[in-house]
Amino acid sequence: MTASAAARTVLTTGRLEGLTEAEAARRLAAAGPNEVAVRKPVRLHSRILAQLRDPLIMVLLGAVVLTLAIGDHADAIVIAVVVVVNTTVGVVQEVRADDAVAALSALSAPHARVRRDGAVRDLPAAAVVPGDVLLLGEGDVAAADAELAEASALLLDESMLTGESVPVDKEAGDPLSAGTVVLRGRGVATVTATGATGALGRIAALLDDRREPTPLQHRLAALGRVLAAVTLVLCALVFVLGLVRGLPPGTMAVTAIGLAVAAVPESLPAVVTLALALGARRMVARHALVRRLPAVETLGSVSVLATDKTGTLTEGRMVVQHVWTPETAVDLTGSGYGPEGEALVDGRPAEGDEIAPVRELLRVAALCNDAVLRPPDPETSDTRWTALGDPTEAALLAAATKAGCPRPVELSATRPRIGEAPFDSVRKRMTTLHSAGKDRVLVCLKGAPEAVLVPTVLTDRPDLLARARQEAARLAARGYRVLAVASGTRGDVPSPVTAAESGLALLGLVALSDPPKPHASATLAACRTAGITPVLITGDHPATAKAVASRVTLLGDDDGPEGRVVTGAEVAAGRVPDLTSVRVFARTDPRQKLDVIEAWRARGAVTAMTGDGVNDGPALHRADIGIAMGARGTEVARQAADLVLTDDELSTVVAAVEEGRRVYNNIRRFLVYGMAGGAAEILVMLAGPLLGLPLPLRAGQILWINLLTHGLTGVAMGAEPAAPGVMRRPPRPPDQHILGDGAWQRLLLLAAAVTAAALGAGLVAHALDLAWQSVLFLALLSAQLGAVLGLRDRLLTRRNPFLPLAVLLSALLAAAALYVPFLSSVLDTEALGSVGVGLGAACAPVGFLAARLVRTAFRRPDSAGRSGTSGLR
């Protein structure tokens, strides 16, 4: 095929202006949002029935029937109130957690690039309508069913729909299904179906939309079953001891049942769900979007952070600073993607003969380019030029403008593209073909120096190629990202396009700068302090990787593995016996990124991996926590990740890890507190009769204590801020039991202290002939309320006012149980005088001090060898 014939067969994107905004709005109203079947909301009665089906709640309902049968109406009322309150709290927590997860799902919805009113726009996929013109590039996920109007080397992954793992080539006129992934090339398509009428919508209608519990919830459910079995055995013992002492069987049965329910924190699963969901929402405020709820709990265990370079450790705004050609070399001034700047030779403006070869090089680089530059929007306060597409290609467009080349639109009009071989991580170069007049084709190529400066691609003299390679190495050693640019002409359109990658002439080298972010060094230092090992994995030149890694203090000073850069070729050749000993990898491909992640996981590490491209997708999926860049990342990377950074800042990962540790610590704190209180209630009921207190507490009194301690204060504990030294401790081992690291010991010691204080107060009241059962009731409740304040990491913090307010409200309700006639009658308590109140209230500081001592008695050293500030890590 001749060049002119090829040019006539190409459908250019300029002819597809797309819909107007007004027409798009009309179609959106008619067709509805482009969303698959939405998860059906759970009806209120279904939530209530689910709560009532809990085994322990069913036991309580049985106790209501039993107490009514024996005429114990007071206890029946108390137990019924507890059932109603527990069910209400559980339903409210479920609704709040579902709302939080739904809000996160809306934030993490995919995006699409469409052409409307002749301009390219980035929209949520839900806003795509039939008739929209979709622009597809490498890494994009098709937002809707469409028909391809233009396809250039387009390769799609349709495995999520067809199950076929082999990618499929697509051409103009072929159908395109929603959810398919662009692996290579680019395309333009017209949307034919959206939402439930599309392929993805029809499949989604068949899916089971039940939400699975998180791994932590599974572990806690297993723990709850064990605790329930142990508690029931102990409660049976309480029942038998009561009968031996001659107490009525009905009263002891109700007491034993109430004790069984009070001893186990049955609201823990709901508290965990709420803590995880609200923790995820707090992460959004810190620019970390959680796409999968279990990631919140996993974050606390991250021990290795594998990061890429561009846009993560560096600014991600590439700027061409130096252009080298065989004839001359110039420096370009200016920053960002704007056209401000000039070309300088030895500090003076470049003249005609000096700028000509530079201009030709940048003209070719602008043609071999898929990025788009956007001028400042007068409707917003943003005065910066922005880029849509690869930052490196955007920088080349900006440099071409500074050098005096025609605008990209004008270049495309005079040299229309008729073919291309997109960049990929194996070839490391990109080639485009352009019509250059009658029967002539212009070949434009750019890529990594080692992939371009070879005789199989270029026809230049060996000495020139050697000089270019030397210059490329020198620039890379200074921290620049270096690209080689070449071109040539021919009389036919080769098939495939890669056949044109030979017989070309070198135009020169482009050196781009992407300086490290100001806080990159501090962020990596914070990772090391938290026991997290940072590892750099990049596709850049080894010298560039080393220069950046040295500036952010990622490389060691020795000559061992931690002090040198290892290339992907060395990894592939098996020349690196231990991948976990290396801190910087360069020139890596997707397979080698997986190898690094797998090596760390095999060592038992919990890995987090950052990425933004299609080639990062497998590693993001394989890592324990995949982290995608929200601003510059591809849709493939975002959908493969567990966490999306909306600000593309590595420091946000550290903030997310801190939030994950905070959530997990609060759950452990609640578990220690709740189980210690339950154990204390059982010990009081077991030891009381042996010490002369026949029936220490009635069933209603036990349940009232449980309601005030586990309900109000338990939920408030989930909002506690992070401990001051939480990021100075090593990560939690992933296989550690939820009550490991000394939690069992803290629980038992705290339970013993609360039991001793409460029984002591009851025995003194019994000796003084006071209402000893009411004193014991107040003492046990006060000791637990004191303990919840003593377990705080920050005693006087204002960041969680809900906990002291919950303690105050619980204390008022405890007083109401003694002095409000109705409650006093129902709970069978008596009003206490000053001596009785003093005995009961004195247990609060005892519980507080016991909690503080328990914390300091089981400190765990932090990663710097200092003692931790919290015993409840």
**Active-site residues: which are they?**
308
Closest CA to 837 of 821, 820, 814: 814
Do 670 and 663 touch, CB atoms closer than 8 A?
no
Radius of gyration of the chain (CA): 34
> C-alpha 434: how far from its chain's center?
43
Task: Report how far residue 3's alpha carbon sits from residue 438's, in angstroms, rounded to the nearest whole number.
Answer: 7
Task: Report how far residue 507's alpha carbon sits from residue 615's, in angstroms, rounded to the nearest whole number.
Answer: 29
Do 549 and 569 touch, CB atoms closer than 8 A?
no
Do 297 and 663 touch, CB atoms closer than 8 A?
yes
Closest CA to 603 of 633, 572, 578: 578
Q: What is the SS3 assignment for 120?
A: strand
Q: What residues contact 649, with CB distance under 8 A and at least 6 apart? A: 287, 517, 519
- Cβ atoms within 10 A of the Cβ of 556, count? 14
Beta strands at 417-421 and 386-388: parallel, antiparallel or unpaired: unpaired
Task: Report how far residue 194's alpha carbon sits from residue 32's, in angstroms, rounded to the nearest whole number.
Answer: 9
Beta strands at 625-629 and 607-611: parallel, antiparallel or unpaired: parallel
Residue labelled with tokens 């014991």: 776
Task: Report how far residue 269's alpha carbon sits from residue 50's, in angstroms, rounded to the nearest whole number.
Answer: 13
Task: Report how far residue 639's alpha carbon sits from residue 451's, in angstroms, rounded to the nearest whole number.
Answer: 31
Do 762 and 779 touch, CB atoms closer than 8 A?
yes
Task: Report how far residue 76's alpha carbon sits from residue 82's, in angstroms, rounded to the nearest whole number.
Answer: 10
Q: How many CA atoms lie within 13 A of 591 on its CB side?
A: 9
Write 418-421 long-range contacts (CB < 8 A, 24+): 418/3, 418/6, 418/7, 418/10, 418/493, 419/6, 419/152, 419/493, 419/497, 420/152, 420/153, 420/185, 420/186, 420/497, 421/153, 421/496, 421/497, 421/498, 421/500, 421/501
Task: Report how far residue 621's alpha carbon sits from residue 292's, in angstroms, rounded to the nearest whole number.
Answer: 12
Write 544-548 long-range contacts (CB < 8 A, 24+): 544/476, 544/479, 544/480, 544/481, 544/482, 544/586, 545/309, 545/584, 545/585, 545/586, 546/584, 546/586, 547/476, 547/477, 547/478, 547/479, 548/309, 548/313, 548/314, 548/479, 548/516
Q: What residues contact 308, with CB distance under 8 A and at least 6 apart? A: 536, 537, 538, 610, 611, 612, 616
Task: Report how far residue 457's alpha carbon sits from residue 446's, in angstroms, rounded to the nearest whole number.
Answer: 11
Burial class from Cβ neighbours inside 10 Å (0-12, 13-18, 19+) for residue 102 reads middle
Token duo for residue 461: 């003299």
Burial class from Cβ neighbours inside 10 Å (0-12, 13-18, 19+) for residue 529 reads middle
Please name every residue paired with 583 in a beta bridge, in sequence order, or none if there are none.
none
Closest CA to 427 of 539, 565, 272, 526: 539
Closest CA to 540 of 220, 286, 318, 244: 318
